[in-house]
Amino acid sequence: MSWLFGMNKKQEVPMFPSPPSDGGQDGGGQGGQPAEPAGRPPASTSMEAYRFDSSALERAAQAAKDLEKSANAHEILAVTKQQEQTRQLEQQSRIKEYEAHIEQAKVEQMRAQGEERRKLLAEETKQHQQRAQYQDQLARKRSEDQLLQQHRMNEENLRKQEESVAKQEALRKSTLEYEMELRHKSDMKKIEAEMTARAKMDRENQDLTLEQIRVKAAEKRDTVLNSIKTAGAVLGEGMSAFLSDWDKVAAAAGGVSLLALGVYTARGGVSVTARYIENRLGKPSLVRETSRFSLFDALRHPWATVRSRLQKSEADALSGVVLEPGLEARLRDIAITTKNTKRNKGMYRNLLFHGPPGTGKTLFAKASTRRAWTKLAKASGMDYAILTGGDVAPMGRDGVTAIHKVFDWANTSRKGLIMFVDEADAFLRKRSSEHISEDLRASLNAFLYRTGEQSDRLMLVLASNTPEQFDWAINDRLDEMVEFALPGLQERERLARLYFQKFVLEPATQGAKRLKVDKFDYGNVASRIALMTAGLSGREIAKLGVAWQAAAYASEDGVLTEKMVMDRVEDAIRQNRKKMEWLSEEERREGKSGVHSDSTAAPQSSPAPASV
């Protein structure tokens, strides 16, 4: 209603202090008051607020008159009413909004409460679980403690039993010793008494005894003299009769000559026959091991022969040898090819096994894995023989004969023979650059002579970790090379497991030995060892097994702990690094231990290079 009090639309709304109880009515006395300047003191403002201003009423009356006179008075009133209604509606809608807000706030509050309750519940569940876990842990710990207690008690009992047995044993031993001592003393006394008695008797009978001796000696002398006289007379007569008859002399000379001839002929014949039989049946001295049946060996060691033959037929081919799968497959392929060669009566191929030291070349062929080699030979349907190159040099000039003997013996095999020569570089080295003895050179020449042509009876397998030392003529005879590389990651893990089993678990379970294993996850330890031991050879890992065993024996309680295992591994790694440092620069360049030269190198699990 500002227009009613003559307020211009452009005028600002006055800022009044809040009125007393009736201050809200339209057209209140303060309506026409001009706005106070901001800086005026509040006391004077409140005084003026209660002063009555009649000019406003006058202006209102005037405005009402003007309004009555106005032609649009009705419309203005209607508009005013509408505005009033609109404001009321707006007010109501604000009230509704406010109520809606309140409702929403309630919903929010309920949701927050729900959330709180859920959190509380979750917290309670968590607490409950933790409590359950804790109780479970307590129960486990209790049971572990009980087990430990039990274990300790068992050990204590065992110890007591052992002690009591030891005491009894000691008592028995001391009793026995005492008894023996007593017996000894009484024996000694008896002997002493006998000796004294005999001495006394001898002394008393001395004269008699001397007389007896004298009589016996005189009798003996007479007998001997008489015998000599008689023999001389008989021989003399015989000789004179023999020499006087020339026919008898001639017959005797002929008989003696024939006898001598017979003896020499028989000796020569026997030695030739023996050599023939030896060639057919005997094993040459250079052959360390063979699958061929040897009559002499069977007669000398019948039980060992029977047992080894039985074992071979049962055993798993590659048990105890950890090879990279590609290499294993390759060896099997070679066996199949060899078998087919034999079946088709073809010519055999010569092989070379090469690689760094300690990678299983010999192991594959020799004693402990004899089965594996047998399997290869068996799969090919052939016999096998194992020789060592190092045996040839000490034979000196006999080396040539020994080599010929081996090849003669090999050629008598009906099935065909695989000849494995371990450490072949020991006698097959270069004739030109190396300073080798005449005897060794002659042995090498004999070997070359006997292997000059492809054979349908003999397959040659050489093993060496320095094949670059071979004489060129030997290289020329090789048809295929198989590389035994350093073990890769998986092989190292298998090796670690194998040797832990062999040197720790098996002795620990046998019970007789003083070796126990602490509780730890060995699978996990083996994986860690495999990761750490890149560059170590199979032999070095096998030695680790022995080191673990020794560590357990050296400890006070004989228990092998995880820490002891890992300490030995770190030792082995350090030693390997040291060995690598010792390798001369030249050896590195030559690549003798090429795979070793970078001990941190990635594991070499790739298959060996194919062929020459």
Q: Which residues bind ligand ATP (CB under 6 A)?
A: 321-323, 357-363, 465, 484, 495, 538-539, 542
> Can you list the positions of beta strands (E) in 45-122?
none
Shortest Å, Cβ 372 to ligand ATP: 10
Could you identify the residue written with the tokens 């929010």?
Answer: 108
Could you identify the residue written with the tokens 């509606």?
Answer: 89
Shortest Å, Cβ 285 to ligand ATP: 21
CB distance 427 to 462 below 8 Å: no
Alpha-carbon distance 483 to 327, whole Å?
8
Angle, helices 206-244 vs 246-281, to 10°: value is: 110
Half-sphere exposure of 452 (CA within 13 A, CB side): 6
Shortest Å, Cβ 382 to ligand ATP: 22
| CB nearer ligand ATP, residue 400 or residue 536 | 536
Could you identify the residue written with the tokens 């081996």?
Answer: 406
Shortest Å, Cβ 364 to ligand ATP: 6
SS3 (DSSP) at 480? strand
Alpha-carbon distance 278 to 411, whole Å?
13
Per-residue buried b or exposed e for 442-470, using 16+ beta carbons within 10 Å of the residue's own CB = ebbebbbebbeeebebbbbbbbbbbbebb
Shortest Å, Cβ 361 to ligand ATP: 4
Per-residue buried b or exposed e for 373-385, using 16+ beta carbons within 10 Å of the residue's own CB = bbbbbbbbebbbb
| CB nearer ligand ATP, residue 285 or residue 501 | 501
**Cα dist from 430 to 78, 351, 472, 496, whole Å:** 131, 19, 7, 38
Shortest Å, Cβ 433 to ligand ATP: 22
Residue 560: exposure state from Cβ atoms within 10 A (0-12, 13-18, ≥19): buried
| CB nearer ligand ATP, residue 460 or residue 498 | 498
| CB nearer ligand ATP, residue 369 or residue 380 | 369
Could you identify the residue written with the tokens 């032999």?
Answer: 539
**Cα dist from 405 to 154, 462, 528, whole Å:** 64, 18, 51
| CB nearer ligand ATP, residue 56 or residue 608 | 608
CB distance 403 to 286 below 8 Å: yes
CB distance 526 to 534 below 8 Å: no
CB distance 477 to 469 below 8 Å: no
| CB nearer ligand ATP, residue 361 or residue 592 | 361
Could you identify the residue written with the tokens 């028989």?
Answer: 266
Shortest Å, Cβ 586 to ligand ATP: 19
| CB nearer ligand ATP, residue 282 or residue 326 | 326
Shortest Å, Cβ 373 to ligand ATP: 12
CA dihedral 108, 110, 112, 116 (to 10 degrees): 180
Half-sphere exposure of 73 (CA within 13 A, CB side): 10
H/E element, 608: none
CB distance 545 to 502 below 8 Å: yes
| CB nearer ligand ATP, residue 495 or residue 515 | 495
> What residues have CB less than 8 Å from 63, skipping those under 6 apart?
3, 4, 5, 6
Nearest residue to 331 (alpha-carbon basis) of 369, 275, 289 = 369
| CB nearer ligand ATP, residue 323 or residue 377 | 323
Q: Residue 39 — φ and ψ, nearest 5°?
A: -85, 0
CB distance 282 to 408 below 8 Å: no
Alpha-carbon distance 31 to 36, whole Å?
13
Handedness of CA 189, 195, 198, 202 (dihedral sign): negative
| CB nearer ligand ATP, residue 294 or residue 527 | 527
480: its two tokens: 């295929």
Shortest Å, Cβ 325 to ligand ATP: 12
Shortest Å, Cβ 603 to ligand ATP: 13
Shortest Å, Cβ 275 to ligand ATP: 34
| CB nearer ligand ATP, residue 32 or residue 538 | 538
Closest chain position to ligand ATP (CB): 538
| CB nearer ligand ATP, residue 357 or residue 594 | 357
| CB nearer ligand ATP, residue 321 or residue 478 | 321
Shortest Å, Cβ 122 to ligand ATP: 56
Shortest Å, Cβ 465 to ligand ATP: 4
H/E element, 286: none
| CB nearer ligand ATP, residue 341 or residue 465 | 465
Shortest Å, Cβ 559 to ligand ATP: 25
519: its two tokens: 């509780």
Shortest Å, Cβ 447 to ligand ATP: 20
